[in-house]
Amino acid sequence: MKSVLRAGSKTRAGCDACEGMVPVTFSYGDWTMDDQTVVEDILRGICDRCGAVVVLPQQSVPKIKEARARARKRTTVRIQKSLRDFIQSRLYEAGAPVQHYELAIKVVLATVLDDKPKMKGLIKKLKTLHDPVLEDPLESSVSIYLTESLQERLQDLLRRTGIAKRSELIRRLVVVTEGDKDVLRELKKVAEYVA
pLDDT of residue 72: 67
Same domain? For 97 and 169 the reply is yes
Residues 6+ apart with CB under 8 A from 2: none
Within-domain flag for 2: no
Same domain? For 177 and 120 the reply is yes
Q: Could you read off the pLDDT of 156-179 as tens digits, one per residue?
A: 999 999 999 999 999 999 999 998
Partners of residue 79 on adjacent β-strands: 140
Within-domain flag for 67: no
Compute the distance between CA of residue 117 and CA of residue 120 in angstroms, rounded to an integer.
Answer: 7
Same domain? For 128 and 33 the reply is no
Within-domain flag for 1: no
Compute the distance between CA of residue 177 and CA of residue 184 in angstroms, rounded to an integer.
Answer: 9
Compute the distance between CA of residue 50 and CA of residue 47 in angstroms, rounded to an integer.
Answer: 6
- Note down the domain range covering 43: 10-60
Query: How far from the centroid of its chain's Cα atoms is residue 72's Cα?
Result: 8
Task: Tell which of 21, 39, 60 closes a domain.
Answer: 60
Same domain? For 93 and 185 the reply is yes
Within-domain flag for 4: no
Same domain? For 187 and 117 the reply is yes
Within-domain flag for 66: no
Residues 6+ apart with CB under 8 A from 148: 37, 70, 71, 72, 73
Residues 6+ apart with CB under 8 A from 174: 79, 83, 86, 87, 104, 105, 108
Same domain? For 101 and 145 the reply is yes
pLDDT, tens digit only, all 195 positions of the chain: 567 899 999 999 999 999 999 999 999 999 988 777 789 999 999 999 999 999 999 999 999 988 887 766 778 899 999 999 999 999 999 888 888 888 899 899 888 888 888 888 999 999 999 999 999 999 988 888 887 788 888 899 999 999 999 999 999 999 999 988 999 999 999 888 875
The total number of residues written for the chain in this structure: 195
Same domain? For 84 and 125 the reply is yes
Within-domain flag for 126: yes
No. of H helices and E strands in the chain?
7, 6
Same domain? For 168 and 109 the reply is yes
Within-domain flag for 3: no
Residue 166 and residue 74 in contact, taking contact as beta carbons nearer than 8 Å:
no
pLDDT of residue 12: 96
Within-domain flag for 141: yes
pLDDT of residue 120: 87
**Number of domains into which the chain is organized:** 2
DSSP label at residue 96? S
Q: Are strands 38-47 and 53-55 parallel, antiparallel or unpaired?
A: antiparallel
